[in-house]
Amino acid sequence: AARIALLTRDLRVHDNPLLSGDGEIVPLFVLDPRLAGLSANRQRFLHQCLADLRDSLRDRGADLVIREGDPVAETVRLAREVDTATVQVAGDVTDYAQRRERRLRTAGLDLRVTPGVTVLPPGAVRPAGGGQSYRVFTPYWKSWERTGWREPAATPRTIAMPDGIAPGRLPETPAGESPDALAGGETEARRRLRAWSGELSRYADEHDDMAADNTSRLSAYLRFGCLSPLELALAAKATDSPGAQAFLRQLAWRDFYYQVTAAFPRISTQPMRPSADTTWRSDEDALQHWQDGLTGVPIVDAGMRQLRAEGWMHNRARLITAAFLTKHLGIDWRLGLRWFSRWLIDGDVPNNSGNWQWTAGTGNDTRPYRRFNPIRQAQRFDPQGEYVRRYVPELKDVDGGAVHQPWRLPEPVRRGLDYPGPLESHRDEAVWLRN
Ligand code: FAD
């Protein structure tokens, strides 16, 4: 009998265990009404991914079956139509995905859960002294490096699909909100990967250089599975490039937060260390300034504006802006997480929550009381101020690193800038910032 490949966040034909192997396959994607809750940026990207995948499947003699509704009910309905009980799905860790798996099983389907969302599935690396998951990255990374990987799935040349299944309609691609957002889809992902691979040799030295902007920008493609993380890891490992190790380490961070989430599924709302989660201030005004990129601290504002313009933010800027919200403004990390989730195309539960909790000190950072001085960060990672001037046009005429501290400019110059001074509610910190 045929099997249903229930595609979720594995929207690709390369190294996709769901689409590889013998026998008839029915590739299915269910547009869950809950997806309407995704940000406009992410909805747009998802639609582009689906359109691209449909083309790739058609090139291989199959099609993408699109259904709208509850994924479990629609899968059961299609299984009856096709006369099969076999359903394959990629293993995933969020609450939502876990519930979907349980419901598919109790609906009487023969559910086969296969890897593909991470390089190593959660549970592949376990702490030596017992326990479900690692809470600290460095020991995880050491074991991750030593653990063997699965063989990638063969890319199918043709896919046999039973006749007579109505493919259903893919709705129009919705408009996004960020004017400079990346386009979705496996084809675009592979094009970007090819174009970027030459940069890998510089990755170790430059991935924190905000102006150089030389990171891969593959995160959204990993988020929707347009690229296989395993394929990416294998490709990095196969080069002798000095950047490969640093890049693999970042992919291991991604795996790390998936295994944390598998063990701690409430990660997006509950602190991992409750004792560090008690003293958040309520300050609507400061939150608004942060969201709008109008805090008066240029490196923070540049990051926040990049987020809206591109649906993406440089990792160093994510660290600086998140630390600024939680450690300096004292505002709850969940509010920051929600804002990131609204705009980031790559926004996903494990990485967004894991990183926010790390920055806020409620997670698994081994130095929870770490503070990021945004000015020192700016001077170190954007020494010439190019990143700031790219995103904060009000400061485009301020030369060099002076752009990071507009309050130090001579009074007449400062008055001529249409740019706010540091936030009122941030007054004490403003003193500290000037030092
Ligand atoms: P590269 O530097 O090219 O790295 C390659 C890949 O490694 C990335 O695509 C990503 O999949 C992975 N990676 C890199 N850094 C991290 C990290 N710190 N944690 C986990 N995986 C990492 N990443 C997301 O994918 N989704 C999120 O929702 C997300 N939210 C974040 C929130 C905060 C507060 C912070 C500090 C970081 C967040 N990150 C998130 C991690 C990181 O910033 C992005 O993955 C990275 O900037 C994506 O750009 P890139 O693809 O060019 O990365």
Q: Does the pLDDT of residue 228 top 50, yes or no?
A: yes
Q: Does the pLDDT of residue 431 top 60, yes or no?
A: no
- In this predicted structure, what is the pLDDT of residue 91? 97
Q: Does ligand 1 have an atom closer than 6 angstroms to the CB of 351?
A: yes
For ligand 1, the distance from its centroid to the CA atom of residue 262, given in whole angstroms, is 18
- pLDDT band at residue 147 using 50, 70 and 90 as cut-offs: very high
Hey, whose CA ends up nearest to atom 48 of ligand 1?
Answer: 219
Q: Does ligand 1 have an atom closer than 6 angstroms to the CB of 150?
A: no
For residue 182, is it within any domain? no
Instruction: Name the nearest CA neighbour of 378 among 395, 366, 354.
Output: 395
For residue 177, is it within any domain? no
- The CATH number given to whatever domain includes residue 316 is 1.10.579.10
For residue 227, is it within any domain? yes
Q: Does ligand 1 have an atom closer than 6 angstroms to the CB of 359?
A: yes
Q: Does ligand 1 have an atom closer than 6 angstroms to the CB of 42?
A: no
Residues in CB range of 238: below 8 A, 6 or more apart: none
Looking at the structure, do residues 222 and 127 belong to the same domain, yes or no? yes
Alpha helices in 177-243 (DSSP H): 186-196, 200-206, 219-223, 229-238
Q: Does the pLDDT of residue 26 top 70, yes or no?
A: yes
- The CATH number given to whatever domain includes residue 209 is 1.25.40.80
Q: Does the pLDDT of residue 19 top 80, yes or no?
A: yes
- The CATH number given to whatever domain includes residue 51 is 3.40.50.620
Looking at the structure, do residues 417 and 296 belong to the same domain, yes or no? yes
The amino acid occupying position 45 is F
List, in sequence order, every beta strand (DSSP E) within 110-192: 110-114
Looking at the structure, do residues 283 and 425 belong to the same domain, yes or no? yes
Looking at the structure, do residues 297 and 255 belong to the same domain, yes or no? no
Q: Does ligand 1 have an atom closer than 6 angstroms to the CB of 355?
A: yes
Q: Does the pLDDT of residue 432 top 60, yes or no?
A: no
Q: Does the pLDDT of residue 435 top 50, yes or no?
A: no
Looking at the structure, do residues 102 and 75 belong to the same domain, yes or no? yes
- pLDDT band at residue 77 using 50, 70 and 90 as cut-offs: very high
**For a pocket test of ligand 1, which of 250, 260, 307, 310 has the largest count of ligand atoms closer than 8 A to its C-beta?**
250
Burial class (CB in 10 A: 0-12, 13-18, 19+), 257: buried
For residue 78, is it within any domain? yes
Residue 38 to residues 123, 225, 291: CA-CA distances in angstroms? 29, 16, 19
For residue 313, is it within any domain? yes
Hey, whose CA ends up nearest to atom 15 of ligand 1?
Answer: 250
Q: Does the pLDDT of residue 434 top 80, yes or no?
A: no
Residue 139 to residues 131, 133, 171, 298, 315: CA-CA distances in angstroms? 13, 11, 46, 36, 22
Mean pLDDT of the chain: 94
- Rounded Cα–Cα distance for residues 96 and 312 (Å): 24
Looking at the structure, do residues 318 and 382 belong to the same domain, yes or no? yes
Q: Decide which of 321 and 369 is more confident.
A: 321
Q: Domain of 297?
A: 274-434
163-201 tens-digit pLDDT = 999 999 999 999 999 999 999 999 999 999 999 999 999
344-367 tens-digit pLDDT = 999 999 999 999 999 999 988 778
For ligand 1, the distance from its centroid to the CA atom of residue 232, given in whole angstroms, is 14
Looking at the structure, do residues 141 and 255 belong to the same domain, yes or no? yes
For residue 269, is it within any domain? no
For ligand 1, the distance from its centroid to the CA atom of residue 314, given in whole angstroms, is 8
For 136-145, what is the mean pLDDT?
95
For 334-338, what is the mean pLDDT?
97
The percent of residues in the chain predicted with pLDDT above 70, rounded, is: 97
Last residue of a domain, one of 117, 141, 173: 117
Under a CB-based contact definition with an 8 Å cutoff, are residues 29 and 166 in contact? no
For 144-170, what is the mean pLDDT?
96
- In this predicted structure, what is the pLDDT of residue 132? 79
Instruction: Name the nearest CA neighbour of 385 among 405, 371, 415.
Output: 405
- pLDDT band at residue 243 using 50, 70 and 90 as cut-offs: very high
* Tokens at 53, concatenated: 């995948």
What pTM value is reported for the model? 0.97
DSSP character for 281? B
Looking at the structure, do residues 27 and 111 belong to the same domain, yes or no? yes
Looking at the structure, do residues 208 and 331 belong to the same domain, yes or no? no
Last residue of a domain, one of 263, 291, 325: 263
Q: Which atom of ligand 1 is nearest to the CA of 251?
A: 7
Last residue of a domain, one of 235, 263, 291: 263
Hey, whose CA ends up nearest to atom 33 of ligand 1?
Answer: 355
Under a CB-based contact definition with an 8 Å cutoff, are residues 403 and 385 in contact? yes
Looking at the structure, do residues 405 and 287 belong to the same domain, yes or no? yes
Q: Does the pLDDT of residue 48 top 90, yes or no?
A: yes
Number of structural domains (the chain) is 3
Neighbouring CB atoms inside 10 A of 111's CB total 21
- pLDDT band at residue 47 using 50, 70 and 90 as cut-offs: very high
For 241-270, what is the mean pLDDT?
95
Q: Does the pLDDT of residue 113 top 70, yes or no?
A: yes
For ligand 1, the distance from its centroid to the CA atom of residue 421, given in whole angstroms, is 30
Looking at the structure, do residues 138 and 257 belong to the same domain, yes or no? yes
Residue 266 to residues 137, 276, 340: CA-CA distances in angstroms? 19, 16, 18
- pLDDT band at residue 424 using 50, 70 and 90 as cut-offs: low
Q: Which residues pair with 25 in a beta bridge?
A: 3
Q: Does the pLDDT of residue 107 top 80, yes or no?
A: yes
For ligand 1, the distance from its centroid to the CA atom of residue 264, given in whole angstroms, is 20
Looking at the structure, do residues 217 and 95 belong to the same domain, yes or no? no
For residue 175, is it within any domain? no
For residue 413, is it within any domain? yes
For ligand 1, the distance from its centroid to the CA atom of residue 254, given in whole angstroms, is 7
DSSP character for 181? P
